[in-house]
Structure 1
Amino acid sequence: MAPLVADVLVVGGGPVGSLIAYQLARFGCKPLLVEQDDKNMMPCYGRACTLWPRTIELLDTVDMAERLMQLGVVTRSGLHFHEGRRVKGGLMYGSRMDKLGDTFYKFALHLRQRLTEEQLIQALEDFGIKPYFQHRFEGYDINEGADNLYSVTAHVKDLVKDEIIEIKVKYLVGADGGKSVVRKLANISFDGENTKHRWIRMDAIVKTNMPSFRNLNSIDSASHGQILWCPNDNGLTRIGYVFSQKLLEKYGGEQGVTLEVAMEEAKKAVSPFELEFERVDWFTIYGIGQRIAGTFCAHDRVFLAGDACHTHSSGSAQGLNTGVHDAIKLAWKLALCVQGIGKKSLLDSYDAERRPLVRQVIDNDKTISMLISGQYPSRFEGRKEHTREILTEWFEDINMQLFTLGLGISYPPSIVNFEDPGPSRATINPGERAPDVYLTKLGTGDPIRLQSILSNDAKFSIVLFAGNPGYTRSSLISVKTALSDSQSFVALFPKRVFRWFTIPSVFGNGGQEVLGVTPLGTVYLDESVKAHEIYGVDPTKGAIIVFRPDSWVGTVVSMDGSGVERLKEYFSGILTWS
């Protein structure tokens, strides 16, 4: 049988693998998704269920947020209880999200993982691509011959027909979980440790006298650590608590932890509140491990994402959120390289950006999981306070809160986060998340969010913050003149990878009338000057800001001919000549 041919083989049909495949299809590539289980037959049980604001923003850029919000339940705040009284502490990053600044997603979204997977698979199938369920990845070979564009040959077993299929692809992505076969066959280490902590997680329909019980709450328990109380889809509640060594001994080890035991201990954990179970859909007892892959890329052709390259506890719900960030970061870079537009340096930036960031997630998780379990991390050795007080101190740090919610995630200067050595033109830095803000449409005057126009279709958005044209018109003219040169970057690189916007900070009835010159791309107005203020752009000088496809800032340059030359330097580092 002739081998199948695709651009990218994605191994693993969970949310991360499905999201990568969906994006690749959306970006005009041909992905092939294989999954050893039949997802259509799998029950809708627990696992990851919480998406934080930045993750929802990213899903919105690829048209998935609304689909998920239609099925899930949102929380905007939460309470923390100690001995039945509301006190400061607990999951403070999930409390009072109305105070969050430059995002319109001031909430968390709760939806069981299987339902998220279903929506991503449906979105993939909307592009005419069906996943290969009941197909197990067995191995791969790489042939780097000069004329061998499809240099990876993967071997996949059809578990129904009991036969091996060959698949030729340009790239291979392992999103096949913590026991990743792709990672093992690529000889990538998975360094870290498993702890002795055991936690219970369960999804149930319950009755309780807990105040505001459909909030994202937490409870201090002397015997069961810090209790997670999380509303979930379809009226369910996710309950989580520590199953101590003392409890394990009481029930004769994990094998003695039945559903009845889990329910009985849950009732004790939430005391003094009452808890009655009407139905339990799922429960598990699991150990905590923090591990990270030695690299997220091997042979320049094999990439890892999600649990395949990092695992950690559910203490602050970072697993799925971190995996979504991996998927969003990787897919557009793969797409541009598949299409012959991106350089190898663009793919190299995936590991360079994500692995140090994931290391920070894991280091944070070690601290959080120990404090939740009632133990003192080494950094707090010698402290006398109860661990719950130290955990409160930890989450009171606004930087830690924003990092947990994803809004504070930024990346250092690099080839994809290019720092112009000239004078600063904005207070936003390359590598920072793009703040969201309302702009105004011409004519109708309707408000439109900046991030909604920065939709992720594997294109760079070049935005001229044009300020007040009374001051900046000559600069706009110099930009247009520089772009018309035969050696400018728009002449050297494929035009389809760029998208242009011009945003003046004044009111007007037409783009050209306001600017005094023909606009570059689509014009939106910043009448309140809010966008210029939030990005720190002087309306009398303006600036050009490049937004990467994933809506992080790529570079900021001056709005003149020299700025256009800097853009050529930036894109030359990551894109190939057309």
Structure 2
Amino acid sequence: MSAKTLEVDLLIIGAGPAGLMAAAWASRCKLKTKIIDEKNARVRTGQADGLHCRTLEIMDSFGSPSIAHEILGQACVIKEISSWNPKEGCEEHIERTESVRSGEEDLPGSRYPQVSLSQGGVEQAFLNFLERDGDMVRVERNLTPMKLRVEEALMDDHDAYPVEVYLRELAKDERAGSPDSAASENSATEVVRAKYVLGTDGAHSWTRKALGLQMEGDTTNKHFGVMDFIPLSNFPDIRISCAIHSSSGSIMTLPREDGLVRFYVQLGESSAKGSTFDRSKVTPDDIIETSRKILQPYTLDYSHCDWFSVYTVGQRLARSFSHLDRVFLAGDAVHTHSPTMGAGMNVSMQDSYNLIWKIATAIRTGNREILATYNTERMVTAKELIEKDRAMSNFYCDGPSANSKRYQEFREAFRDFVSGVAVEYSPSLLTSSAKISNGCGDGKDSQQHLQQIYSKPSLASNLTLGQRIPSYYVTNHFTAEVIPIHTAFKSTGQWRLLLFPGDLRNPTNNSILRTLGHKLSASTSFIHTCTPSSSPIDSVIEILTIHTTNPRTLVSALDLPDIFHPWSPTRGHDYFKIFARDTENGDDIYKAFGIDEDRGCAVVVRPDMHVGYIGELEDLESVRKYFERILKLKGEREGA
């Protein structure tokens, strides 16, 4: 029987956290998507387990019911981290030397804590979301890829499906083990023709190997045992995350759901770098026995081991995250490292989150230039991950040190990056600069194009171009509901133009905003030319207004131009786009962003919540140029 053929916008190979994040995003962006996995079910035990505040923000952005809230209902919240070191005068025993607040929810503009939950629990939350979402993106299991072919002549054809992937359904006797790598192409059961392919298929990525991409880096001779178990112990911080250094080795602990605790235990070193370490001989009892020596004078036993493994410390990175901007890689498929920093699953999911809206934009507009920013933006993040993981691995492998005894000071160098809030993307097609950029594309025309648009970051001095916009409370002008501004940034693929006009009782401010409204409403404005005529006016670029009038009821917002509260003949006005600053539930958003309310400003927020542009409130020309170079004019698209 001949293989069936399917055409899709996006094929995702691998249904771990990075692949499921991509599937959720693709579902919300209405992409025709197929996601496959060799395994017959999600992860049941073990693997990654730490989630940081930025990841939870992203999960919440997919809407209600919230993936983040489902996870928080099961996860263990990490509120404190204890540092333990050899006891003064009794080196074979340990003592607590510091207690450090985890405090990710205290970071500027953050609202979620650090939590821990098994990778299987995270995957299930995404699977539940896909089941609820209406676009019928479902994981298809027991499918293995066999061949990938890229038709380079079709790369620039917007309507083409230039990537072919041959798939084979695994036989029942293969599903418990490894697929038969010797199976011939003729055994393929399906041929998928895709506009784009994303490989999220792990450290041994088939997709990466099919592209001929190599991982570069090294593996050390240092080995750790990792174990999820229910501890029986008199160690006082057994339910606190700990960094433990002793004369017998090091342990990192993480409390988990259902009474579990994860231990990362230093097992020692091979006799020489590159020598063989027989992981198969390590048992849970071996890990516990080593832990007992490190934890002296405290006792340790266990009643149940949920999962254990052994890893060798190493850091490796692929040279590129994409091939011809048609086949992409994310997560462990392009960067591998130790789990000691607890950032891997988060960075992997944020890879996917950076990419999928760009694919959706390229499909909708025909502008493929933005796809090159995936490699440039995420490569920098991955390199920083590798560097910081190497430093953190050394921290645990090198034993008691000045850093271990000043843990809070040491941790400060990692916290913002690990939390995800400090990730910053350099100037590019998507992120304007206060000074001339060298561009991110190839050729003089691309660079000249980028140099036409400059931001004025001093107008919002506490925002950083290229970073995710922080979240502070605002009050809905019409409903009086107080919300974090992030809840208005749903992951639907929309861009946001934030207007900060100050106090609308001021005649000048009011006049400026009304003039802006009339210009934005005009049929020649970029709001119209970047939006398909058959779509709602806010479906591509959503305008959100945040004013400082107090009390807000002194302004009749419905008297403002309709572009600020679009009218629908079936639903009436949109009452969820105008806000007043809130001063009773934390920081004033104007002060938090560093905005002078007498001058105001405009801020463009990308679909992934990163700041793309900051400019004068009245400078619509620069905003127009910013959007038109990314979201091609409707007339150009229709005539293409």
Normalized against structure 2, the TM-score is what? 0.82
Partner of 1:344: 368
The structural deviation recorded for 1:231 is 0.8
Partner of 1:408: helix, strand, or coil? coil
Instruction: Quote the Cα distance in structure 1 between the aligned partners of 2:159 and 2:360.
Output: 18
**Residue type at the aligned position of 1:401:** R
String of CA shifts for 1:413-436, please: whole Å, max 9, x gaps: 221111353653211132122111
Which of 36, 39, 44 matches 2:38? 36
Which of 540, 555, 559 matches 2:617? 559
The answer on 1:103 being equivalent to 2:110 is yes
Instruction: Quote the Cα distance in structure 2 between the aligned partners of 1:572 and 1:97.
Output: 37
String of CA shifts for 1:118-159, please: whole Å, max 9, x gaps: 221232233323211010011222234447522211111111
Contact kept? 1:394, 1:400, Cα under 8 Å? no
Partner of 1:170: helix, strand, or coil? strand
The structural deviation recorded for 1:388 is 5.3
- Residue 285 to residue 432, structure 1, CA distance change in 2 (3 Å): same
Partner of 1:27: 29
**Residue type at the aligned position of 1:387:** S
Which of 121, 129, 132 matches 1:115? 121
Which of 581, 603, 609 matches 1:526? 581
Contact kept? 2:200, 2:332, Cα under 8 Å? yes
Partner of 2:468: 433
List runs of 5+ in structure 1 lacking aligned partners: 376-385
Partner of 1:498: 541
Instruction: Quote the Cα distance in structure 2 between the aligned partners of 1:157 and 1:556.
Output: 49
Partner of 2:606: 548
- Residue 511 to residue 216, structure 1, CA distance change in 2 (3 Å): farther
- Residue 32 to residue 66, structure 1, CA distance change in 2 (3 Å): same
Which of 149, 159, 165 matches 2:170? 159
The structural deviation recorded for 1:360 is 1.0
Which of 4, 7, 14 matches 1:5? 7
The answer on 1:402 being equivalent to 2:435 is no
The answer on 1:451 being equivalent to 2:459 is no
Query: Equivalent residues in 2 for 1:19-418 (5 A)?
Result: 19-39=21-41, 44-62=44-62, 63-83=66-86, 84-88=94-98, 95-97=102-104, 99-105=106-112, 107-126=113-132, 127=134, 128-143=136-151, 144-145=153-154, 146=157, 149-160=160-171, 163-225=188-250, 227-245=251-269, 253-338=278-363, 340-341=364-365, 343-374=367-398, 386-387=400-401, 389=403, 392=406, 396=410, 398-418=412-432
Partner of 1:425: helix, strand, or coil? helix
The structural deviation recorded for 1:512 is 5.5
**Residue type at the aligned position of 2:131:** E
Partner of 2:415: helix, strand, or coil? helix
Instruction: Quote the Cα distance in structure 2 between the aligned partners of 1:34 and 1:113.
Output: 18
Instruction: Quote the Cα distance in structure 1 between the aligned partners of 2:358 and 2:408.
Output: 35
Partner of 1:524: helix, strand, or coil? strand
Contact kept? 1:79, 1:95, Cα under 8 Å? no
- Residue 313 to residue 216, structure 1, CA distance change in 2 (3 Å): same
Contact kept? 2:158, 2:366, Cα under 8 Å? no
Partner of 2:496: 461
Instruction: Quote the Cα distance in structure 2 between the aligned partners of 1:399 and 1:313.
Output: 18
Which stretch has the larger CA shift, 159-168 or 196-205? 159-168
- Residue 478 to residue 443, structure 1, CA distance change in 2 (3 Å): closer
Which of 613, 626, 636 matches 1:570? 626
Instruction: Quote the Cα distance in structure 2 between the aligned partners of 1:509 and 1:172.
Output: 49
Contact kept? 2:267, 2:287, Cα under 8 Å? no
Contact kept? 2:602, 2:615, Cα under 8 Å? yes
Contact kept? 2:197, 2:328, Cα under 8 Å? yes
Instruction: Quote the Cα distance in structure 1 between the aligned partners of 2:200 and 2:382.
Output: 15
The answer on 1:513 being equivalent to 2:548 is no
Partner of 2:579: helix, strand, or coil? strand
The structural deviation recorded for 1:276 is 2.1
Contact kept? 1:215, 1:231, Cα under 8 Å? yes
Which stretch has the larger CA shift, 452-461 or 79-88? 79-88
String of CA shifts for 1:544-574, please: whole Å, max 9, x gaps: 11111111111111111xx211111111222
Partner of 2:91: none
Partner of 2:311: helix, strand, or coil? strand
String of CA shifts for 1:46-69, please: whole Å, max 9, x gaps: 110001111111211123211211
Contact kept? 1:75, 1:108, Cα under 8 Å? yes
Instruction: Quote the Cα distance in structure 2 between the aligned partners of 1:281 and 1:477.
Output: 62
The structural deviation recorded for 1:485 is 4.1
Partner of 1:368: helix, strand, or coil? helix
Instruction: Quote the Cα distance in structure 1 between the aligned partners of 2:106 and 2:23.
Output: 35
String of CA shifts for 1:368-421, please: whole Å, max 9, x gaps: 11221117xxxxxxxxxx535268469536353211221222122221111353
The structural deviation recorded for 1:289 is 2.1
List runs of 5+ in structure 2 lacking aligned partners: 87-93, 173-186, 434-452, 532-536, 566-576, 635-640
Partner of 1:177: helix, strand, or coil? coil
Instruction: Quote the Cα distance in structure 1 between the aligned partners of 2:223 and 2:541.
Output: 50
- Residue 111 to residue 276, structure 1, CA distance change in 2 (3 Å): same
The structural deviation recorded for 1:76 is 1.4
Instruction: Quote the Cα distance in structure 1 between the aligned partners of 2:263 and 2:424.
Output: 32
For this pair of structures, how many residues does the alignment match? Answer: 557
Contact kept? 2:473, 2:582, Cα under 8 Å? no
**Residue type at the aligned position of 1:210:** F
Instruction: Quote the Cα distance in structure 2 between the aligned partners of 1:234 and 1:532.
Output: 42
**Residue type at the aligned position of 1:193:** D
Instruction: Quote the Cα distance in structure 1 between the aligned partners of 2:13 and 2:160.
Output: 20
Partner of 2:638: none
How many percent of aligned residue pairs carry the same amino acid? 25
Contact kept? 2:85, 2:405, Cα under 8 Å? no
Which of 462, 478, 481 matches 2:518? 481
The structural deviation recorded for 1:282 is 0.9
Contact kept? 1:333, 1:342, Cα under 8 Å? no
Partner of 1:383: none
**Residue type at the aligned position of 1:453:** A
- Residue 447 to residue 261, structure 1, CA distance change in 2 (3 Å): same
Instruction: Quote the Cα distance in structure 1 between the aligned partners of 2:300 and 2:58.
Output: 36
Contact kept? 1:78, 1:96, Cα under 8 Å? no
The structural deviation recorded for 1:163 is 4.0
String of CA shifts for 1:83-124, please: whole Å, max 9, x gaps: 4322138xx5x634464332111x211111112112212322
Which stretch has the larger CA shift, 1-10 or 16-25? 1-10
- Residue 65 to residue 486, structure 1, CA distance change in 2 (3 Å): same
- Residue 26 to residue 527, structure 1, CA distance change in 2 (3 Å): closer
The structural deviation recorded for 1:473 is 1.6
